[in-house]
Structures are given as C-alpha cells and as structure tokens.
Amino acid sequence: MPELPEVEVVRAGLAPAVTGATVAGVEVRDPRALKRHVPIGGSASDGGHGVTLETAEGVRRAADFERRVTGLRLLAPQRRGKFLWVPIEGGSEQALLAHLGMSGQMLLRALDAPDDRFVRIRLWIEHPEHGEMRLDFADQRLFGSLALDSLIADGGEPASLPAQASHIARDPLDPLFDDAVFVASLRRRGTAVKRALLDQTLLSGVGNIYADEALWAARIHPETAGSALSERKAFGLLAELRAVFAKALAEGGTSFDEQYVNVNGQAGYFAHSLNAYGRTGETCPRCGEPIRRIQFGGRSSHFCPRCQRRR
C-alpha cells in the first residue's frame, strides 16, 4: 500500500497542473471507485462492491459525482498521511478526496494519450497556463476511491480537513506535528512499537515499509514495547522516521511493481535503498547478520537480530 512518501510524490506532481484548473468534464467508468462518495440524499452503501454501471445505485452514484464535480475550480492539493485532497474554490467548503488504497494511481495525461490500464474515473481539466489535459484515476484492485467530501474545522484552521480524514493524526512531516505529544503517547503504550507506528490515530502515513526501515535505523526491535523506550530513544526513532521519509521522497518513493508510480507513470527508486524491509536472508548492511522476518498481525516485520535486540 502506498505510504506517506508515495502519496506526497503524487501530491507534488499534481500541484502545478491542478491548482487553478477547472474541471471541464467527468466520466465515471466504474462506480466501484466511488465507494467513499456519498450522493446527495444517499449513502455510500455496501462499500461499492456490488455497485456497477448496470445497477441503479451505480448509475445514481456516477451521475451525482459527474454532475457535482463538473465545473469546479480546483485549489492546491493537500495531504495528511495517505489521504490526498484538492479543495474547491468558491466557499463551498468541499474537496475532491482521493485515497489510493493498494494500487490507486492519479495520472496526468495529454488529451490524445492512449488509455492506461484500469482507468476507473476520468476528469478533463483546463488550466489557464498549462492548457487542457486529462486526470485519470486508475486502480487495479479497487481498494482506492475518489469522493466529493465536506471540509471540517481542523484545530485553528476552519474548513480545512476532509470529514473522512478526521480520524487520523497529523503525520511527522506536518509542520504542526507535536513531537513531545507523540513521544509521551508512545511511551505510555505497552504494545509493540511497530504496532504503535502503524496506528493512524497516533501518527499517520506510516506503513510496513517505513516502519521497518525506521526501526532498523534506530536499532529498535519491532516487538519492543513502547513503554520500554527511553525518551531519548523515542525521539531518536521519530528523527529516523523523518530521515527515511526524506530519503524516500528524494528517490520518488518505493516501487516494487508498476502499481506504484507518480503522476507521469514513473516508478520510484527507494526500493534499492531499503536496509531491512523485504530483505529476508540478506546480510544486514550494518553488521552482516542475516535479516530476519517474523509474522506480525497478519503482516511481516523485517529486522536485524544483532542490531535490533529485543529488550
């Protein structure tokens, strides 16, 4: 699943093209990609799994989205954790919300470009400087979605956060992220530190890849309890997490296959810089011990048994 760096790469790529652009037209090819969109007078029922263009609900949801999004003027894209949204100009207090799920892609294409695979929703946009182009939402596995969502108050910033993202905490790259509050909360937890890093109510944007990489860099075993960390160690882990994010952003995110791409369809290269994640049996770059993999709540954790001893 795309994590913070991959979503931030997409946000930065979209910004020049969509900021100030007007949506000239919308085509919903697969209403299942609108599972989080709530039509006027309705609800996003059944998660979209049974919604197709042949069903009444599919027709209704697609028509509502096409009608309400066409003609909107878009502002600068925003992000929190893995959520990406484009606020709407004109005091409507709404935003076009995107969640990439496991394989979602936001692709900028010329009007006459050939179709990419698995395009579910297409927007035609007109920018005063860059002209006309397509913005395609493609998603092979259909865990992602687009939606028109209401903006709600976020601390001292009124109508700035999509309602569907209100349950998640700020991410470590957010200027308003409170380091001291995070460290104190982490050190009160008796659960494994890896589990805490994946808790989007504690901090957002961290998934399996970057949790493993930050823990390796901080020399912390993934099953160490948060309460067992010293304050210095917890602050050090946060610093390593930010460093891993920065390096991943510089390399365009982590791509293991064609599903993780930027808005131009290009893959990131951070997979070549991984020290622990996905390197089971390979030698630790720091000490030479083979990297181990253990099961973790239906996922896997990768760590060095010598550098990251459990305390």
Take residue 299 and report the two structure tokens written for it.
């996922």
- Return the DSSP state at 192: B
Measured CA distances, 147 to 14, 68, 98 (Å): 17, 11, 7
Q: Determine which one of 68, 82, 170, 187 is catalytic.
A: 82
Q: Determine which one of 3, 6, 8, 240 is catalytic.
A: 3
- The yes-or-no answer on residue 3 being catalytic is yes
- The yes-or-no answer on residue 279 being catalytic is no
Q: Tell me if residue 262 falls in helix, strand or coil.
A: coil
Q: Is 188 annotated as a binding residue?
A: no
- The yes-or-no answer on residue 82 being catalytic is yes
Q: Is 311 annotated as a binding residue?
A: no
Neighbours of 258 (CB within 10 A): 13
Phi/psi for 169 (5° steps) reads -80, 170
Burial pattern 216-248, b for ≥16 Cβ within 10 A else e, equals bbbbbbbbbbbebbeeebbbbbbebbbebbeeb
Tell the residue number behind the tokens 């927007």, with chain if given: 123
Closest-CA residue to 176 (of 80, 253, 99, 75): 80
The annotated binding site for DNA is made up of 141, 189
Give catalytic residues, as residue numbers. 2-3, 82, 299
The binding site consists of 141, 189
